[in-house]
Amino acid sequence: MATASHHSSATGGATIEIEQQPPRKLPDFHANVNLKYVKLGYHYLVTNLLTLCLLPLIAVTAVHATQLNLDDINNLYNHLQYHLIAVTAVTFIAVIGFTTYRMTRPRPVYLVDYSCYRPPDHLKVPYQVFMDHSRVHGAFNESSLEFQRKILERSGLGEETYLPAALHTIPAVPSMATAREEAEQVMFGALDDLFKSTKVNPKDIGILVVNCSLFNPTPSLSSMIVNKYKLRGNIRSFNLSGMGCSAGVIAVDLAKDMLQVHRNTYAVVVSTENITQNWYFGNKKSMLIPNCLFRVGCAAVLLSNKSGDHRRSKYKLLHVVRTHYGSDDTAFKCVYQEQDDAGNTGVSLSKELMTVVAGALKSNITTLGPLVLPISEQLLFFVVLVGRKLISSKIKPYLPDFKMAFEHFCIHAGGRAVIDEMEKNLKLTEEHVEPSRMTLHRFGNTSSSSIWYELAYSEAKGRMKKGNRVWQIAFGSGFKCNSAVWEAVRTVKPSVHNPWEDCIHKYPVKIKF
């Protein structure tokens, strides 16, 4: 008789399965290899089906063209002379149509460069320092301290993540002033590196989008940037709040839309989160989890719609797909800022979080799939779908192979369980999720900026080749699942201020749970 036991947690708790079954016959290796080549052959055939069908037509046309003599060519020329008005009209219409198409088509949006903030070493928080400070603060009982210790051990975070200076002091100083200091440090640090590497004059920036979910002072974060860099008076600035860890993609989408309206300009997107005033000093376990996961981070991204920036840019934006799951009450409250019974404010993570993530992911890829998947994968999905409708609902649904559409995956490093869920559901390899796992290990959950640290990891490893496509996917409160698809316009080398530049040789590391 088979026996099994199972245990897991929404934060990435260990999963243990013990199963005893009669020994099974090992699968035939040669059969698997043959099946792999059959599938590759199928994809090649379907992808190039139109070309293969046109080859006979091209051959017949070429044969007839070689049989044309001089008299045939003269007759054709004389025929066109007698229809000069018709030819002129067709040419005029074609020119007008082409000009209209060029003027009204969406302008390409290029990612010139980006910068990820690297905090100073004195802000690192090893496990023991985290636990010692938590104990000294005196806000947590023994049960809460033990809970945090277990979460840290299972979270996938390493010993070199960062917390803001206000939380390193004893007692902590979570004031408005120290929160502003954290915001200035991370935003200005990322922007200084960005302007230095791109050599763009801040006064050339026409659009500014800043997203930070939990800290929204007056004047706003975007106004702080305008003041610091003396940006021009007619800049279009936006400040997004309360939109969670997926707000970075939303900010890119907003900047993209603005770049379609305002031509020949730059847009800067700044994605960050502020921890100083949002540390939870209570004992409700669901609200203690963010303390163990969230760390300091920020990314600044320079976008352009100038055709002349194509050569020096790193990526071209292909698609943005946004899915909002907020109409569902369970999804709406699975990441929820509230006060506990003692009046302490924090963010609560519900046990249904991973179920909500799976549902939001399904909705998002249903929209994204037709935009990015090769026709061969779409055809297989359609055939299976029809089979389930007409033959039997017991037929196993076909999950498209997104590895056929993307070379690189930047999955929001929200926690080990999120990455595990994506790896399982999308049937990804360890290398595909390596940037996410290593970012979580080295920098922790940096909220909306995590997908940029992951992209920087792939660049630091020298994996980004011309034509490669990148899928950035993030989840956030509300509940939202958002995707951005980029294509490398050249073989990308890491930026001068790449956050991994002095430690990339140590990665990947083996993470133990």
> Token digits for 284?
């409700």
Nearest of 294, 281, 208 to residue 251 by alpha carbon: 208
**C-alpha span between 441 and 261 (Å, rounded):** 40
What are residue 12's phi and psi, to 5 degrees? 105, 25
Torsion of CA 89, 91, 92, 97, to 10 degrees: 120
Q: Which residues contact 460 (CB under 8 A, 6 or more apart)?
A: 494, 498, 500, 501, 504
What are residue 320's phi and psi, to 5 degrees? -130, 125
Q: Calculate Rg over the CA atoms of the chain.
A: 27
Cβ–Cβ < 8 Å for 183, 277: no
Sheet containing 408-411, strands listed edge to edge, beginning at the edge strand earlier in sequence: 236-240, 205-211, 266-272, 298-304, 110-116, 315-324, 480-488, 469-476, 408-411
Nearest of 163, 418, 167, 149 to residue 285 by alpha carbon: 149
> Token digits for 188?
């200005």
Cβ–Cβ < 8 Å for 272, 448: yes
Tell me if the bond preceding 202 is cis, omega within 30° of 0. Answer: no
Cβ–Cβ < 8 Å for 438, 156: no
**C-alpha span between 250 and 481 (Å, rounded):** 10
Nearest of 387, 391, 428 to residue 411 by alpha carbon: 428
Cite the active site residues. 245, 324, 408, 412, 441, 445
Nearest of 134, 133, 127 to residue 150 by alpha carbon: 127
Helix (H) or strand (E) holding 348: strand 345-349
> Token digits for 350?
């519900």
* The length of the chain, given as a count of residues: 513
Q: Which residues contact 325 (CB under 8 A, 6 or more apart)?
A: 331, 332, 356, 359, 360, 363, 478, 479, 480, 481
**C-alpha span between 417 and 151 (Å, rounded):** 12
**Structure-token match 């002349």, residue found:** 308
Buried b vs exposed e over 348-382: b needs ≥16 C-beta within 10 Å?
A: bbbeebbebbebbbeebbeebbeebbeebbeebbe
